[in-house]
Amino acid sequence: MSQNLEYPIDPFAAPEQNRGVKDCRRIFVGSSLLPSHSGSFCRLEEKTMRAILPICLAFVVTAVFAAGCGRETYERRLDDSRRYFTYLDKLNQNLSPTWTGKGVKMRVPRQFEEIPGPKPKPKPKKSPKGGSKEKAKEPVEEEPAVEERDPRQPDYAEITFPGLQGAFKTSLSVGGKARELGYLYVLTNGELLGKKGSDEKAARFNVDVLHTIAQAVGQTDPAPEKMATDAVPKGEAWVVPRTFKAVRPGFAASIYGKDYRIEVYNTKQEKNEVSLVYVLPENVSAAEKLANNIDLSLETLQLTKVVPTAGSPAAKAAAGRGL
């Protein structure tokens, strides 16, 4: 039995436009002769059909292939998003919210809490309006300003860290039920950059940090070639890769009569240098997952005010922008 297909004349055209048009409303598929209601015949050439058929098949194949590629792309992006949010969840479970200092920001291990910095200095009092000129000329004895020690600096050792931007404190489980204090210090050379006559000191910042610690604990400076190289991230590169030079297992020290290690992780980007100093008790419990959390924390370090090294691509780019 032949199948009937309706092919109406153009319903959107005016009546006079359809006059003289062959009304091939009823086409009998399977026959080359297509009778219309008017009795005339509409004939589809067999050659035309053979020419059109491969094109139609090619179009269908292309559409199916494109749909398959689109689905693969969608599934790949969906999988990337799933892995990325798994990574973010891992950070949230092991690290504190983002901390921001001058020119640097990062997420520290969740065990640590920030030590408050020094209180802002009070503004000088303005002299009262009015009064005689003679009183204004009278010398006023001023008490010598006493520079208070930054409360974030260590109070357990004779040491003052240069470029201190942030300090953190925690209580760590050490074998059994005992707990000992641990510290983290974030140091940068940001205050030296751009300061007249401080270029050489800024370029030696990380080296000077190591020297300061070595002197405080009575040890020699670690040789740069003997320092460990710690590259992050450890897994998938969801962050910009960064390399640290590390003093591990760290400088041996005695604090509060207990055995401690001072681990140092330093890195640089253009002219900027950063040292992260961990002061940790020996034999920290594995349940703290501290080593894992430190590695994750290193991945989050960002420098927000980078000063390009002369002649570097970043410096050339800045010069091109007129900066």
- Most confident stretch, 31-35, 38-42, 214-218, 308-312: 214-218
pLDDT tens-digit profile of 120-162? Answer: 877 766 655 655 555 555 555 555 556 789 999 999 999 999 9
pLDDT reported for residue 117? 92
Q: How far apart are CA 307 and CA 322, in angstroms?
A: 15
The three-class DSSP label of residue 154 is coil
Q: Is the pLDDT of residue 182 over 70?
A: yes
Q: What is the mean pLDDT of residues 26-51?
A: 49
Q: How far apart are CA 284 and CA 128, in angstroms?
A: 59
Q: What is the mean pLDDT of residues 95-124?
A: 92
Q: Is the pLDDT of residue 32 over 50?
A: no
The three-class DSSP label of residue 297 is helix
pLDDT reported for residue 4? 46
- DSSP letter assigned to residue 116: P
Banded model confidence at residue 27, pLDDT cuts 50, 70, 90 = very low
Letter for the amino acid at 172? L
Query: Hey, what's the torsion of the CAs at 303, 309, 315, 316, to 10 degrees?
Result: -150
Token pair, residue 282, equals 């020996």
pLDDT reported for residue 184? 98
Q: What is the mean pLDDT of residues 221-225?
A: 91
Question: For the ranges 62-76, 215-229, 309-323, which has the lowest average pLDDT?
Answer: 309-323
Global pTM?
0.71
pLDDT reported for residue 139? 56
Where do the domains of the chain lie, and which CATH numbers do they carry? 4-43 (no CATH), 95-116+151-320 (2.60.120.1690)
Q: What is the mean pLDDT of residues 215-241?
A: 91
pLDDT reported for residue 80? 87
- Do strands 104-106 and 99-101 pair parallel, antiparallel, or not at all (unpaired)? antiparallel
Token pair, residue 124, equals 């000088």
Token pair, residue 128, equals 């009262």
pLDDT reported for residue 233? 92
In the chain, beta strands by DSSP E? 4-6, 26-28, 33-35, 41-43, 99-101, 104-106, 113-114, 164-173, 179-188, 228-232, 242-255, 258-269, 272-281, 302-303
Q: How many CB atoms lie within 10 A of CB 274?
A: 26
Torsions phi, psi of 192, nearest 5? -90, -25
Which residues, 6+ apart, have CB-to-CB distance to 189 below 8 Å? 163, 201, 202, 205, 271, 272, 273, 274
Banded model confidence at residue 106, pLDDT cuts 50, 70, 90 = very high
- Most confident stretch, 17-26, 128-137, 279-288, 313-322: 279-288
Handedness of CA 80, 84, 89, 91 (dihedral sign): positive
In percent, the amount of the chain with pLDDT more than 70 equals: 67
